[in-house]
């Protein structure tokens, strides 16, 4: 291959971000055998080779084919189109070898980098302006990294062994069990007008008026959740909604996913680490119904996504919303338990900066938090740049989750970010905190 011209000053940071995103993807899969990459480990998850091919083809679609002119496809045709091939059938597709998959990712990337040399990101084009489309592709790779980690937690055979780890800081702040903070009610700005990185479902900013409420100062912890179980939480119908009871009957669940009893103690396996659950870490791998039942047991309820966002972002002193609980500075592994490489939740209070103006700890990182809200477009929602990212999923069958998890990359989380899943799902790194009316 002939060497290309050096990147222009405008594309240099973008190239560095793309390179870093790819390095992380390759680091995550490095410990996996060829069989691990090809297998469908769970009906809910794709073979990792599917994610790899999909990452590459999505990038090719948006950063070569759709970069100028009309958008020809929203998702690429062929085996890596998620709508043509739903997850449960992806195990039956014919995949390239690991070497071929990685080579294809590299070939597409080389073409993308060559193309980016010629792109004018200052142009008044909604896809290119401020580099939006590149950040969309970056976030897509970040999100599939979290998806791959969900698969690895579920993987068959030998547990996944992490390639390297970030250390979790020591706990320096104490949050009393069950402590709540009060929001006085009144108008708050929800969502964002940002067009540089936000998804369409985060826009537009809109002012809502909230009634006074209290919200847990920390996510619900394993020790608290164990108390719910010990109190017959999974057996007492009064705590469960109709749909929750149906889920209980169907699954026979008695504890969060990956928990098991050993000599009278709760243990869990997180990747390749097996041991007693830490009572001070946020509970993880619970579905919406479990969160909802716990809240009822505790005499509380789940927050709406507006309440959640107000508690994470609203600065009553300045009367404006922050991008992150600590301010507008980006998420980093020092500020919050994000970026995958802790490979676990962290004890509450380990990230001293990770507190919102209202006094809520850990709203970014550790676990996605279930809210009581269905996933809908905000008033004035405008699908951009493709309806298959958000709009295709609007409706009452999905619940919104907020705040990202330990497995979320910093570039793919902020106070306004909205995730969604079915209320029965617990393959995601999901927990919750409770609220109540004041
Ligand atoms: C936002 C996490 C629900 O994984 O289905 C990845 C992200 N969209 N590729 C998903 C996504 C297209 C999406 N979630
Ligand atoms: Fe995707």
Tens-digit pLDDT profile for residues 153-202: 999 999 999 989 999 999 999 999 999 999 999 999 999 999 999 999 99
Whether 56 has a pLDDT exceeding 80, the answer reads: yes
pLDDT of residue 121: 87
> Any idea which of 38-47, 71-80, 187-196, 332-341 has the lowest mean pLDDT?
71-80
Residue nearest to atom 12 of ligand 1 (CA): 389
Q: How far is the CA of 139 from the centre of ligand 1 (A)?
A: 10
Which of 40, 20, 257 is closest to 145 using CA atoms? 20
Q: Residue 80 pairs with which residues in a beta bridge? A: none
> Residue 1 — pLDDT band, cuts 50, 70, 90?
very low
> Residue 8 — pLDDT band, cuts 50, 70, 90?
low
223-239: pLDDT as tens digits: 999 999 999 999 999 99
Residue nearest to atom 9 of ligand 1 (CA): 140
Q: How far is the CA of 8 from the centre of ligand 1 (A)?
A: 31
Point out the ligand 1 atom lying closest to the alpha carbon of residue 418: 1
| Cα–Cα distance, 141 to 148 (Å, whole number) | 10
CA distances from 46 to 37, 43, 86, 103, 341 (A): 10, 8, 9, 20, 22
Whether 2 has a pLDDT exceeding 70, the answer reads: no
Q: Are strands 314-315 and 320-321 parallel, antiparallel or unpaired?
A: antiparallel
Q: How far is the CA of 42 from the centre of ligand 2 (A)?
A: 18
Q: How far is the CA of 139 from the centre of ligand 2 (A)?
A: 10
Q: Once rounded to an integer, what is the mean pLDDT over residues 243-264?
A: 97
Nearest ligand to the C-alpha of residue 76? 2
What is the percent of the chain where pLDDT is above 90?
Answer: 91
| Cα–Cα distance, 66 to 9 (Å, whole number) | 23
CA distances from 49 to 26, 55, 196, 392 (A): 12, 10, 30, 25
384-428: pLDDT as tens digits: 999 999 999 999 999 999 999 999 999 999 999 999 999 999 999
Q: How far is the CA of 227 from the centre of ligand 1 (A)?
A: 33
End-to-end CA distance of the chain: 66
What is the percent of the chain where pLDDT is above 70?
Answer: 98
Tell me the pTM.
Answer: 0.97
Ligand 1: lining residues by beta carbon, under 6 Å = 140, 143, 147, 389, 419-420
């Amino acid at each position: 291959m002939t060497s290309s011209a050096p990147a222009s000053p405008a594309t240099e940071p973008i190239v560095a971000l793309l390179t870093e995103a790819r390095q992380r993807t390759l680091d995550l899969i490095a410990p996996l055998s060829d069989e691990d990459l090809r297998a469908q480990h769970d009906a809910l998850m794709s073979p990792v080779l599917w994610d790899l091919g999909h990452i590459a083809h999505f990038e090719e679609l948006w950063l070569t084919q759709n970069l100028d002119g009309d958008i020809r496809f929203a998702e690429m045709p062929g085996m890596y189109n998620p709508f043509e091939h739903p997850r449960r059938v992806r195990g039956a597709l014919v995949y390239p070898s690991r070497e071929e998959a990685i080579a294809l990712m590299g070939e597409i990337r080389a073409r993308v980098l060559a193309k980016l040399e010629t792109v004018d990101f200052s142009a008044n084009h909604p896809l290119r302006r401020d580099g939006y489309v590149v950040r969309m592709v970056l976030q897509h790779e970040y999100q599939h990294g979290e998806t791959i980690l969900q698969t690895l937690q579920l993987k068959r055979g030998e547990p996944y062994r992490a390639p390297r780890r970030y250390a979790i800081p020591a706990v320096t702040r104490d949050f009393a069990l069950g402590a709540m903070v009060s929001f006085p009610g009144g108008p708050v700005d929800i969502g964002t007008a940002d067009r540089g990185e936000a998804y369409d479902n985060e826009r537009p900013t809109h002012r809502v008026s909230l009634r006074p409420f209290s919200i847990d100062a920390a996510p619900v912890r394993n020790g608290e959740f164990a108390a719910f179980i010990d109190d017959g939480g999974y057996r007492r119908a009064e705590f469960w909604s109709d749909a929750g009871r149906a889920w209980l009957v169907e699954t026979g669940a008695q504890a969060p996913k990956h928990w098991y009893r050993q000599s009278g103690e709760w243990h869990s396996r997180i990747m390749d680490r097996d041991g007693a659950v830490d009572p001070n870490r946020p509970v993880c791998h619970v579905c919406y119904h479990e969160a909802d039942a716990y809240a009822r047991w505790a005499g509380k309820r789940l927050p709406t996504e507006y309440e959640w966002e107000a508690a994470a972002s609203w600065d009553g002193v300045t009367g404006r919303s922050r991008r992150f609980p600590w301010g507008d500075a980006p998420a980093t592994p020092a500020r919050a338990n994000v970026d995958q490489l802790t490979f676990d939740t962290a004890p509450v209070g380990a990230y001293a900066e990770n507190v919102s103006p209202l006094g809520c700890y850990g709203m970014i990182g550790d676990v996605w938090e279930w809210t009581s809200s269905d996933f809908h477009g905000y008033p004035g929602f405008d699908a951009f740049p493709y309806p298959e990212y958000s709009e295709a999923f609007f409706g009452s069958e999905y619940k919104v989750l907020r705040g990202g998890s330990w497995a979320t990359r910093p570039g793919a989380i902020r106070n306004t970010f909205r995730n969604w899943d079915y209320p029965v799902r617990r393959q995601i790194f999901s927990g919750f905190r409770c609220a109540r009316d004041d």
